[in-house]
Each structure stands twice: as structure tokens, then as C-alpha cells.
Amino acid sequence: MSTGQSAQSHGVTTSMDIARHQASNGYHVASVAGQKRPLTDSSPQEAPKPDAGVHRIALRGPSEISNPPILESAPLDFARASLAPPVNRFTASAIHQGPGASGLEEEHKFGEPAPGSSQNPLLSLSHPKYGLPSALKANFAALGVTSIYAWQASCLLARGLLSGERHLVYTAPTGGGKSLVADVLLLKRIIENPTRKAILVLPYVALVQEKLKWLRQIVQGVEKIIPDDENEDDGDNLHFARKRWKRLQKSVRVTGFFGGNRTTTTWADTDIAVCTIEKANSLINSAIEDCSIGDLGVVVLDELHMLDDEHRGYLLELMVTKLLLLQQDIQIVGMSATLSNTEMLAQWMNAKFYISTYKPVPIDEYLVYENVIYPAATSRQLFQTASKLTASASASASNTLQDSIPPHRTIEASTYKELSNSATNSMVALAVETAIAGFGALVFCGSRGACQVHSATISEAMPALTEGTDEMNKRLDLLAELRSLSCGLDPILQKAIIKGAGFHHAGMTTEERELIAQAYDQGVLRVLVATCSLAAGVNLPARRVIINGARMGRELVGPAMLRQMCGRAGRKGKDSSGETYLICVKADLEAVCDLLDADMPAISSCLAPEKRGLKRALLEAVATGLVSGFEAIKEYVRCTLLYLSLDKKLVYSIMDSALQELINEGLVLLKDDESYGATLLGQAVVASAFSPEDGLYVHEELKRALEAFVMDGDMHVFYMFTPLQVAMSNPIDWQIFRDQLDRLDESGLRALQYVGVQPGFVNTMVQSGASLKETTPDQLKQARVYRRAYTAFQLRDLSNEVPLATISQRYKTPRGSIQILAQQCHGFAAGIVKFCQRMNWGMLAAVLDHMRDRLEAGARADLLEMAQVTFVKSWTARLLRENGFKGLRSLAEANPKDLVPILMMVNPRKTQKNQLYPTEAERYAAKLLTKAETIVASANKLSDREMQVELEE
């Protein structure tokens, strides 16, 4: 066959055919014969080695064909630097079709198409049965949602759901349209019952932020159904004021509640609260305590399978239990893609349940083993056959295995050292093939470090683009955005992005992750390598999901996490099909086959004794006044999932033990009338949203602080504000610890010695190279002190405007971890302040509250006032102050045009870049002027509020 002839004529689709198919998209496929080697500075020894007997494909942009001159390197003096694409050190292995298999571009057979809204009117959101207002329907349509699936219609139209009379528990595959059902129920409830509120609960901050944007778009211009005033005889001014107030009443207000959020909006000022699990539980507790729980109309629990989470699951169970006991007119909606015992959960909630298996986009699942791709459905047969071959010690076991089970496709073994591992070779080949075909690939791996290594490896084999193409310009723009961040640009990430790859993990900052995710979603990056946390945390669909090994860290992934990862493949509106590839090594073959066969684990209660959740459940119920008498407490326990799961006598025994523990610890007291009440300490623990164990520890620390608080410095406060859980997971570098101790002033050293830090012990740890022992209670207590002190140094630097990148380097900690510390610290610090207020420790609360403001602003005391203004963070506040705007009042009186040059100084690289393009510069200046107007308006609002407080005083 000639090199110019397509192998498709022989019934096989090759990588070359796929590449030629992409020629119209800007790639040129060079002829295999007579291909010129690109000009490089590499020595002959560094040139890539061709595989023996294998033809390779050179993918080049049109302008690269005629030997362009080598781009000279230049200093990166502005954000969007010119970068020559790096030369590949190796190429991806070719993938060949197996018997009866087809390539990536095969058209999947969908079977009979689902009936459209023209065939079934109920599949249109405009149908009168849904009763949605025209503005809401228009907003849905603007975002591409006009029709719904048959299962969604069947679920929504079940008796009592649209009217809010019945609870609902349902499950559907990822990408199957779960969220839309909950959105319709929630919005309909709020619009038709204008005095009621909604809480939407999501497990992760990223999901809360994503949902906030979506809901705010959906409710824009939508009005709640409030009857107009009948009295129209008022004077013109009064009538106008009433009409304006009516419009405000009618609008749907959506607010986010999560750790690190600086919103001043309260529960009273919102209609829809989008919350993390912890914030939602606190809101419900507060509403019960102040008797405003009747304002709540609907609670939506997304990712309901989190009930089983050992760290946070009990909070979800607490929320539902309290709502069930209240028997108020509050609709509960729970959903998940990974529920197996939906019916039991529905029984617990007294809810209707619905199970959908519908996948709008067909997903093909494969297992990759020793460079061979098999349908996942044959995994059990594959393992049995492989075991027999291993037992027989066949010399050609691999070939015999392929003969026994016809493979879907095969991947050529690579002669390159970097791809000698079959798992790595398969990962690179599958990822690069997807990118060449013009689709997106998500690669999941087991650790942050692996993300970066695999991203670099894949990028080495990715086809290079020449400078000047639209896609390359977008990649350079992405690099400019990343470089302009305060944390700077990671050099590994830079090299990967140029080739169209990237990585995404919790060690990166929020801003980095958002930019990378957006670039992948827009097709600027073709391959994204991520940890498994991305599977649940961000909505990023892919044509192909590649799971490189079944272990995340040291542990084998569970069926639920595997389904979450696979669920990212194929999304309606993005792709017509999806594929998942689980790459398995020999040692894990049996475990992986078991995993592929495994059912979803049943959801169980987290209030069991070993998880200690019932103790907190009882304390919260008593402290908020939900229950007091023994029979009422028993009724409350009967509303738990625990009661449905275990023997009744055992549950009551656990309840009695938990009550007695609460009494012994001084959190609850048994009154003379045999009712139970929370002590002042118990009330403080609940108000601060601490667990009983953490609350008792904080109480001891604060009592010591009352006796001797180091007020002539801030180190004592930073120690107190260090979150317990974050500190316990924070490794200590003892050399760095000693260096920071040596730099402390007398006040800081005195504060740390007072809480239990001994410089001599730190010296011993440096010299011995030992690690902390954490076996006995005393050792655990000591470890907590030193871990919190070490973490407190990082908090101190954050509040003193030390750049994030500097802190990361100083403590050898990922930038994202520092940022997470800051976010979690805000919530913990707020809890500490509330604790002091409830304990009537007013002076201590005032001192701590001032420092909490500094933490939230990330600034020194002189910037606190301005850092409250919208869009003004610590660096912006510092620039404003240095350029004449000394305080809130001067900022409120400013002309927005005068702020634009200062805002340009915040991001000088971006400003320099835009100066090269007049149209862009004009657009950028207009954007900054709008931002400046918002800043002035926010400053005015805050200034007016301060003046009002002064007048009232």
C-alpha cells in the first residue's frame, strides 16, 4: 500500500487517517517518505529515535512547512511572551484496531432517538403543567435548556412534587440531568411562595461557586408572585417608593455561604442560600433557635451519597433529622449519581424515590492491560484467562492472552525510555490520539506530583503548533493570565500549556485552577491531568476519560469514586459520545476486575458510636431548643437514619451513652423536672459550629488565654485562629520551625512558650531528624500544639501581606494548601469569636474579632477599612492608600476615572500587553472604569453605614 493511500479502504482506521481528517482544522500531515528533520540546536545524540519498523506522523501548522527561521529568545518583559514550541523528545505510540473494533471517529449507534418536545408536549418546559413563569422559561432557553428528558418529566409530574407536598430522593447517572429537576422544584417553590426561602447544599466550595453563577443567570429578571397593592391612591412619591420596594420584594436573591466568603448578606436578606454542608447546618440551627425556620420552604441536598462520608456525612444526617422532626411545610429533595439503596433513603425521609439509568450520551468503557485495550465487560474473563496463563508460565503469555480474548485495540510498545512502562505508554498514546482528533481528554492519576509528571510526559508527545495560529495565541494569552497572578507561573505548567496540556490539583491556587479549567472547557487545552478530587469538584466533561491506575494515593478507589470519574466522559451538548479507559497494572488486575464488577455500596448512617456523630446530633437538638424531654429526644432519634439501620434497643443504648457523656463533659444538664438543657458551654459549642470534642479543646485554650493573653503582639491570636483539622494534617519542617522561632520578637516567643512550644524541643527535633510521636493522649496533645504553632506562622505572614508565592517557598508548602488554610481559617476564626460571645467573654471577643478582620482582608490594620470594599483586596488597598486614598471616606468621594490608573498598576503585565493592541487597551480601560465605579459605589454604601452607626450611638 502506498503512503498516500488511506488504510480505511482496507476496513481499518489508523492514526494517520485520523490525523489527515484533521487537516482542515489547521494541521498538515507531512509525507512519511522524504520528511525533513526540523531545525533544532540539538546534537545528534539528542535527536528522537524512530521506532523500528514504525512510521511516525509529523503534525505541523501550515506556516511551518517552509523551514521558518528559529525564533530568538527574548526577555519576558510583558505578559504575553512569544514562545517557540518545544521540540518533542519522543512521540506517542500508534494504536491499532483489534478484531471487529472501530476507531475514535466511529459514529455511535444511538438506537431509536428519544421523542422530542414536538412528539411529546410534556418534554417542553413551556408546558402549562410545570407552571413556570415566562421570564424563567426564557432564561432557561437562553442557556440552552428548552426541552427535558422523559425521565425528568415523569419525575417532576409525580403527585405532590411540583406542589411541594412530597419529599423526593432520586438518582441518575452523571450528566443525565439530575440538577435540572431540583432547580425546577426549588425555583417553583420560591416563586410561588414569596415569603419562603430555599437552601441548596453542595459538598465543595468550587461547586457552590459554580452553582451560584448558574442560578443568578436563571433568576435574572424573574419575579416572585406577589399580589400588587390594591390601594393606588397614595401620593406620587409614596406610590413610587412602594413600587420600588415591591420590585425589590419580587426579585429572587441568591447568596453563597461558604468558608472564606466575605459576603455581608444574612439569612434574612436572601431567598436562595447556596451553601457548603457546614454552613447549611449552621443556618438551619440558627433558624431553629430564633424561630425563623418556618421561613424555609425547600432544602435541596446535592451529592446525597456524602451521607456516608466519615468526616462530614453526619452533618447531612443531622440536617435531615431536624427537618423531619419539625414536620414543617419544608420540602426535602436529595439526589446523587451513586446511590444503591435509594428506596431505603426514601423510606427514611418519607419521600418518593425515582431511579433513572438514562444516559443522554452513550459511554463505551474499556480496560487497558499491558498495552492492550479490552471492553470492560470482559474484565472477569480477562482476569481468569490471565491467571491460567500465568500459572502455566507460558513464554508468550501476552500474545496468548490476546488470542484468547479478542482485544478492542492494541497499543504499540515504545522504544523510548520514558514510555517503557506500559501504563505510561498507554496513557500517553490514548491522550495524544484524543487531542489529535480534536477532542478533550481527562486523565486521572493518584497524586499531585503524578499530575505534574504525567502532564509533562504527555505534553512531550503532543503535536506542536506554530506561533501565530489562533489556538497558539489563546495558549499564550492563558500563560499571560497565569503569569500575572500574584503566585506567578509554574515552569512545568508553562511547558505543558504550550503543547495543549495542563494539570489540576488542590496544591494549585483557586485562580490557577479556574483559569486552567476554563481553558480546557474552551478547547484551548486538549488534555487535562487531574487528581480524583476534580471528578466530584468541577463540572468538566471530556470525550475520553483515562484513569491511569486504580489507586488514588495508596488506596484502591471505591466503586462510587470510579463512577464519578467515568461520569465525566461524554456530556450532552458537548459530545455525541464518550469513552472511559481504566489502565491497570498486573499487580492490581484482580482488584480492578472486582472493582468493575462491584455494586455501589449501600449508604449507612454516620451517627454510629465509632463515628461519634450522635453525640453532636443530641447536643445541637437540645441547645437549639428543638427537644428537651426524654420522650422528645427519643422521637428525635427515631427520625435518624441510624434508627432505620440498627436494632432499636441498640440505638436507644447508644443514645443513653451519648447523653451521659454530654452531661459528664458539662455540655448538657439534667434538670429537676427530668428535662435536658444545654449549659452555657454547650450553647457556645453549637453556636460556633464546633464538634463537642473540638469545642471542649477550644474552651480549654480560651480559658488559658483569659488568664494570660499576650496583647503586645499578634502571635497568640494567630495560634488561636489556626484551624485544628488543617494543622493536624500540616507536616512540620523542623529546620524552618527553628528559623521562624529565631526571628520572633520577645512578644511572639512569649506567646508560643505560653501555649506549650519549647525552643529546646524544636532544637532536639532538628538535630535528631525525628518526627512527632502521636500515639498516647499526651503525645497527641503535644503534636497538636506544635502543628498549630507551625501553621500559625503561615497565617501571620498572610495577614502581613506577604505574597502567597513567598509563603509557599518559605514553608515548602503548595500554594493551594496555603490558600485553603486561609479559607478554612476564616470559618474557624468566626467560630472562635462566636464562642467567646456566647460565653460572655466580651473583651476577648473584641480583640479576636479585630484580628479576624485582618485575616479575612489579608492585610495590616491600616488597610482594614478599605479592604471591606468590593473588588479591593490587600494589594489593591495598599496601592490606593499609597496613591492618596487614605480611607473609606476619601474612596467614597473619588471620581471613578481617577482610580483607573491605580487599578492598571494592580496588573502591570496585563496593562503592558494591552498597550500593544489599541482595541484591547480601550476595552480593558472600559472594563476597569466599570470596576472603579463599583468600588466607589461600595465605598459609599459602607461609608453611609458607618455614619448611620455613629448617629445611632
Handedness of CA 153, 156, 160, 166 (dihedral sign): positive
List pLDDT tens digits, range 418-442: 999 999 999 999 999 999 998 999 9
Lowest mean pLDDT segment, chosen from 82-96, 118-132, 153-167, 676-690:
82-96
Position 574 pLDDT exceeds 80: no
Cell of 825: 481559617
> Are 648 and 785 in a shared domain?
no
Question: How do 59-60 and 28-29 pair as beta strands?
Answer: antiparallel
- Which of 545, 563, 597 is at the close of a domain? 597
> Are 46 and 145 in a shared domain?
no
User: Contacts by 24-29 with C-beta closer than 8 Å and gap 24+?
Assistant: 25/438, 26/61, 26/62, 26/469, 26/471, 27/59, 27/60, 27/61, 27/436, 27/463, 28/59, 28/60, 28/61, 28/62, 28/64, 28/65, 29/57, 29/58, 29/59
CATH code for the domain of 809: 1.10.3380.20
Domain assignment of residue 88, yes or no:
no
Rounded average pLDDT over 481-504: 86
User: Cβ distance 323 to 315 under 8 Å?
Assistant: no
571 by DSSP, 3-state: which? coil
Q: How many domains in the chain?
A: 6
| C-alpha to C-alpha distance for 361 and 80, rounded to whole angstroms | 38
Q: Decide which of 135 and 226 is more confident.
A: 135
pLDDT of residue 916: 52
> Are 341 and 383 in a shared domain?
no
List pLDDT tens digits, range 7-46: 333 333 433 343 334 433 433 333 333 333 333 333 333 4
Of the pLDDT bands very low, low, confident and very high (cuts 50, 70, 90), residue 112 is: very low
> Are 350 and 489 in a shared domain?
no
pLDDT of residue 13: 41
Question: How do 167-171 and 95-97 pair as beta strands?
Answer: unpaired
> Are 853 and 874 in a shared domain?
no
Domain assignment of residue 46, yes or no:
yes
> Are 561 and 462 in a shared domain?
yes
Domain assignment of residue 568, yes or no:
yes
Identify the residue whose cell numbers are 471487529: 100
CA nearest to 203, candidates 308, 130, 321: 308
List pLDDT tens digits, range 617-649: 999 999 999 999 999 999 999 999 999 989 999
pLDDT of residue 656: 94
Rounded average pLDDT over 207-214: 89
List pLDDT tens digits, range 760-770: 999 999 999 88
Rounded average pLDDT over 845-863: 68
Position 951 pLDDT exceeds 50: yes
744 by DSSP, 3-state: which? coil
Q: Decide which of 100 and 203 is more confident.
A: 203
Backbone angles phi, psi at 569, to 5 degrees: -80, 125
Mean of the per-residue pLDDT values of the chain = 80
> Are 750 and 657 in a shared domain?
no
Q: Decide which of 265 and 276 is more confident.
A: 276
Of the pLDDT bands very low, low, confident and very high (cuts 50, 70, 90), residue 87 is: low
Backbone angles phi, psi at 509, to 5 degrees: -75, 165
Rounded average pLDDT over 118-127: 84
Rounded average pLDDT over 128-140: 93
Per cent of the chain over pLDDT 70 is: 78
pLDDT of residue 787: 93
- Which of 597, 629, 657 is at the close of a domain? 597
| C-alpha to C-alpha distance for 879 and 902, rounded to whole angstroms | 7
Position 67 pLDDT exceeds 50: no
Q: 516 CB contacts (<8 Å, ≥6 apart)?
A: 493, 502, 503, 504, 508, 525, 528
Rounded average pLDDT over 47-66: 35
Lowest mean pLDDT segment, chosen from 3-7, 480-484, 491-495, 942-946:
3-7
Question: How do 578-584 and 544-548 pair as beta strands?
Answer: parallel
603 by DSSP, 3-state: which? coil
String of DSSP letters for 249-301? HHBPPEEEE-TT------GGG-SEEEE-HHHHHHHHHHHHHTT-GGGEEEEEE
Domain assignment of residue 23, yes or no:
yes
> Are 157 and 262 in a shared domain?
yes
pLDDT of residue 608: 80
pLDDT of residue 875: 64
pLDDT of residue 909: 54
> Are 434 and 554 in a shared domain?
yes
Domain assignment of residue 742, yes or no:
yes
Residue 548, strand partner residues: 583
List pLDDT tens digits, range 550-563: 887 778 888 888 88
In order of 534, 790, 850, the CA distances from 445 in angstroms are 11, 30, 43
pLDDT of residue 638: 95
pLDDT of residue 264: 65
> Are 369 and 457 in a shared domain?
yes
Range of 36-40, 80-84, 369-373 with top mean pLDDT: 369-373
CATH code for the domain of 273: 3.40.50.300
String of DSSP letters for 413-467? PP-SGGG-SHHHHHHHHHHHHHHHTT--EEEE-SSHHHHHHHHHHHHHHSPP--T
> Are 165 and 30 in a shared domain?
no
CA 70 to chain CA mean position, Å: 42
- Which of 355, 377, 394 is at the close of a domain? 355
Position 906 pLDDT exceeds 90: no
Domain assignment of residue 189, yes or no:
yes
Count how many residues are written for the chain. Answer: 953
Domain assignment of residue 390, yes or no:
yes
User: Contacts by 67-73 with C-beta closer than 8 Å and gap 24+?
Assistant: 67/36, 67/39, 68/466, 70/39, 70/41, 71/467
Domain that holds residue 654: 609-678
Q: Decide which of 943 and 697 is more confident.
A: 697
| C-alpha to C-alpha distance for 770 and 622, rounded to whole angstroms | 45
Residue 544, strand partner residues: 441, 579
pLDDT of residue 246: 54
> Are 725 and 659 in a shared domain?
no
pLDDT of residue 935: 82
Position 208 pLDDT exceeds 60: yes
Position 942 pLDDT exceeds 60: yes
CA angle centred on 505, ends 691 and 368, rounded to 5°: 115
Q: 261 CB contacts (<8 Å, ≥6 apart)?
A: none
- Rounded-to-10 torsion of CA 847, 850, 852, 857: -160
Of the pLDDT bands very low, low, confident and very high (cuts 50, 70, 90), residue 489 is: confident
Domain assignment of residue 936, yes or no:
yes
